[in-house]
Amino acid sequence: MKRLRYLIPVLLGVALTSSCLKGNDQPVTPNPEGAFSGEFRLISRKPGQTKIDTAKCNISLSLTQATASYSVGGDTSKIHAASKGLYGINGQGIGFADKSVPANLATTNAPIINGKAHLHGTYLFVYNGSVLQMKTIIGDSLAFEYDLKKIN
């Protein structure tokens, strides 16, 4: 009987503790896939200056997980190039390999070729199931930002 008296508080503590523990009730957010549309921003600062320039355009992005392929369309006449290639996701990072980027720039993150930005290299991303935001920063003078909404 004396042993039972010492065991009751332990059992009661275990029962109360296990009932307070909760599982992870948050749904898992899927990786981005499908068609997206929204704004691309090219943010730059010229060396030796403090003024920041921002150029914007509306683009569309299509991501297909089955083939790990992507394509960029929309307003590709001025600051962003139309492109397509392969992509991969690792945690909060997403990497793009644009097939139109020349071999000598293949290891360059977020290249600008002939005055147009290319979706190429490694980006941090946030995706909540409907909004996809991606960003990469090159040094202290250049950033690419994508603010896209899922359209299908």
pTM over 0.85: no
Minimum mean pLDDT among 40-44, 45-49, 117-121, 128-132: which range? Answer: 45-49
Cα atoms in the Cβ-side hemisphere of radius 13 Å centred on 96:
28
Is 45's pLDDT higher than 80? yes
Q: What is the reported pLDDT for 152?
A: 77
Q: Average of pLDDT values for 14-21?
A: 52
Amino acid at 72: V
DSSP classification of residue 151: -
Query: 92-140: per-residue pLDDT in tens?
Result: 999 999 999 999 999 989 899 999 999 999 999 999 999 999 999 998 8
Q: What is the reported pLDDT for 33?
A: 95
| Strand ranges in 25-119 using DSSP code E only, listed in sequence order | 34-45, 52-64, 69-74, 83-90, 93-98, 112-113, 116-117
* Mean residue pLDDT across the chain: 86
- The pLDDT > 90 percentage for the chain reads 67
DSSP classification of residue 105: G
- R_g over Cα of the chain: 24
CA distance 88 to 81: 20
Do the Cβ atoms of 60 and 84 come closer than 8 Å? no
CA distance 6 to 83: 71
